[in-house]
Structure 1
């Protein structure tokens, strides 16, 4: 009878070890998946910040907007284009633009007619921390009052 108990105890120990290994492997997979999801979200926000900074710089370069008019919370690009085209205007930020802001600084250069423009697109969390940020610095032609 003692041999039977030892065998049953050995089988129970093997089953417990197998379950523990299975749970540990499952936790490792879930943890890796969570990290990959967070990295993907961070990359998506970084791309969005770059898109917003490039779009703002393009509007400034084209003379469709001044740095002062774009500085602050991101407005719907449709509303900016609507102001230029005098068509229907979508007021307020688009759902994907909530929490984003543009910090735009200009600095006159020694060369006549050129201005250094720095555009930073930032996504702020509700606590005020910066979740994503992208800065673009470029020299653009001065538009008179835009510097």
Structure 2
């Protein structure tokens, strides 16, 4: 019995790791959301995150989701606050969004750090097509955004 208990305890972390592998995905917030330190309204509210901000879902528990927010913190929010809409957040101090996925292509627009852009297409060859809330679209290098 002791040997099987030790074996079960030894494999438990690996089972959770395997269950979580590939399970995380990115969403955006449908509304401003309070982020908590625990999956409950009795948890400590830490800060509010703005509508459309991308988050990475890490764990789902009933009505709560543990997310990684753009600064890297792991916190909890209510599942109902998530949207299926995909957004990205600019991480570079100043990003050039090009008309085509080519550094020599004409500039479509520029965005500064923390601007949220809508994901318009899948990334390819180091670029991703994005759309600004004003409707302007273009291509940004994937190393200049977070949320993919």
* TM-score, normalised with respect to structure 1: 0.32
Q: Name the structure where helix makes up a greater proportion of residues.
A: 1
Which structure has more strand as a fraction of its residues?
Answer: 2
Structure number with greater CO (CA < 8 Å, separation at least 6) is 1
- Structure possessing the higher radius of gyration over alpha carbons: 1
**Structure 2-normalised TM-score?**
0.31
